[in-house]
Structure 1
Amino acid sequence: MLKEVPVVQELNELDKKHFIHPTSSISQQQENGPSFIFTEGKGIYLTDITGKKVIDGMSSLWNVNIGHGREELAKVAQEQMSKLAFSSCFSTFSNEPAIRLATKLASIAPGDLNSVFFTSGGSESNDTVIKLARHYWILKGQSNRQKIISRSKSYHGVAMGATSATGLKPFRDFTNSIAPDFYHVEGSSIEALLEVIEQEGPETIAAFITEPIQGAGGVNIAPSGYFQEVRKICDQYCILMITDEVITGFGRTGKLFGIEHYGVTPDMMCFAKGVTSGYSQLGGVIISEKVYKDFINLSNGTLLHGYTYSGHPTACSVALKNIEIIERENLVENSRLMGEEMLKGFKYLQEKHEIVGDVRALGLIGGMQIVKDKKTGEGFEIPISPKLVAEAAKRGLIIRPVTFDQDTLVFAPPLIINKEEMETMMDILDESLTAVEQEIL
């Protein structure tokens, strides 16, 4: 239902006055107000307060995997809230949805990943896994193993530990004192990883944390064999291997978890986002059987880590139903098939448009580099991707720019997208590229 103009104006002014937006331009918000005030979502579409309908080409924040407006999730949340909305899981208290979800996750996670610690989201999950990795080595009598290695262009969240692990420097520069003992190695360079391990001493390294595909860094896909080599190195030097599946989990890449493309199993795996498709706040860490047995056998006191909402009954109920829908509707396979269509569309646009450079996708996560010169890969002095995002939004498509040290458009539509909807998305992108090229070339 459309809101009257005075109501829209009122909400705009109240937004500017009272709402501090995450990862947004404060000056832009204060000058223009919110770019959209969404009121409804259905399938792959969002509708704003003025009635404008747009394709959610990012699944909002890479997370609305089963699409918007799924009444099954609302119903299960209502039923759980009516019985037991919340109860604490501290002091060994428990609840059935948390137990059932932990069991389900153990059954679908790769390899021997078998025990789950719940959080409220991705940043908490990555902060948790860093603390658990360091605590693990304390229990093992190797408290000097405290250093965490991650990759450049990585994104692990905005809590203090997660920020410190993030390889994208602007996020670390946001604060004037990041946590110590974090190291960042260049891209997908095995040589760089080995150099840092040998330089710092393997006996000081607690863990290596990596996204199977780097999301916010520009959808960077590692070269063939990279993760197999990482696994070997971690085994060789007794370093815990951690995968951050916050974006890549629950079907996003055309497999249930991104690391499954590479045939290796980490020691710990973080998840969030797609576990509930954004219908409730939930995340967690899944720990291997071997590591958890060490926790059990070596711990002699309280695990002094936990969040108020760890094991939240309503969130866990929503996650169980969400996973059921993913499996029932075969959305992992649809992600694989529609991901192939998306990459095909990218390659067509790459051939057609002068400013489209490298394109890549794995399942329904993709990136398109914007360049001034295709042959050299030279970019524009001022990034063009924000201009393209604005043009696409005008035409009914939400996508996202990445401008840290590349000029890239990133994509992650809901896993329910069909071929016709994908073609519409590509048509809008085509029109947007044409409009920008006419302006700048």
Structure 2
Amino acid sequence: MDSDPRPGDDHPAHDLKARVRAVLERRNLTDNVSAEQAAASWEQDRFVARARALFYARMMFLTLGLLILAVPAWSGYFGFNGPISFLGYFAMLIYSVANLLVIDHPKAGRWVTYLSLCMDLLITVVLIARPQVGGGLQSPLLATQLLFTTLFAILFPKPLAILPPLLALPITTRLDLLLNRSVTAVELLTLLWYLGLNFIIVYVLVYLNEREATAHREVVSLQGDLKELAVVEERNRLAREIHDGLGASLSSMIIQAEYILNLAREDGLRTEIREMKATAEESIEELRRNLRMMRDDFELAQGLEDYVKTFRDRTGQAIRFERTGLTRKLPPDAQLALFRILQECLSNAAKHAEAKEVQVRLDFSAEGVHLVVRDNGKGFDPGRTPRGHYGLLNMRERAMKLGGSIVVDSAPGAGAQVAFSLPCLSA
């Protein structure tokens, strides 16, 4: 005898849902996330991780800066004496912490990080150019400029965004000339060498960054395609099983009903058998229609028109179908919603409204697709739905799920009109 699963048992489906939910919540995404949204979330996470690494690197530089201020020989070399130097140090500390606090914001985090990085670069240029002896292109801190080029290229891999660190070397050379420091041949070689290294760093990092982003977008797109392919394969499998199982059973029921009908002699019994046969035929037609939808082989406009004809022949109601606009392919969910709403409207017109005439209009426009069903029945009050009747509620839920709208216009003795609209959708 099988035992019931206990709370401690493994439930792979539940674990998978929990992991998916945790990732979606962490990335602030919804269940209907698109490939573009997933890629944007990945890029934001990558930026935040790199910006945090920048913060820790900045803390290391601030530690070295504090060491420079603490050693008189070093602070004297840079000309940092007095309280102003310590005020500048604490200003760097404050904007570094402020950057960390807003780093997760999609827009403010990027702007504050970029501005704070530019401030770091400006301070570095001052440190390089300030010493009168051994400063400028001779400064031991000149290699720090390469680090800034790397940081800018990693965090902001755009041509204009990387411009500030590239301008640091020409600015340093210009400051040398303004401070009456002549540029020797060796310093000119140093300048050219650093410029070459800068361009190599920018090219390699931007190239690798673009390759990484492109590969990630391809993987995300491939995952979406594989998911859709798996859904299609599962739908086809279910369609085959339903056709071979339930479809065969309904066909057998129709054949048996025809056989019994030929044997029956009583009029009442023959009427019951005919109704049973008609119900089975309607069920198998509904089954075939759903199988076509599952296999994405359902033409909406023709399917609605065929159903109107079948319903008219079965009930004897005067139903007129009108189609306008250029027909286009819709997603399976949208097609199913339109068909179910039409079914519900015609059923209500026959069972409850006692309508003599029904008008059905299907309109395809640039804004979307619109279905309007109007009858001349006895009408009702849409605000007072009888208890246990969920037709209107189901129609509203279908419209809400697809981002559409449904308007029910009716009053006692004035007939009823249901207008269902879906935004522009494509398969």
Structure-1-length-normalised TM-score: 0.19
Higher strand proportion: 1
Which has more helix, going by share of residues?
2
Structure of larger gyration radius: 2
Q: Higher relative contact order at CA 8 Å, sep ≥6: structure 1 or structure 2? A: 1
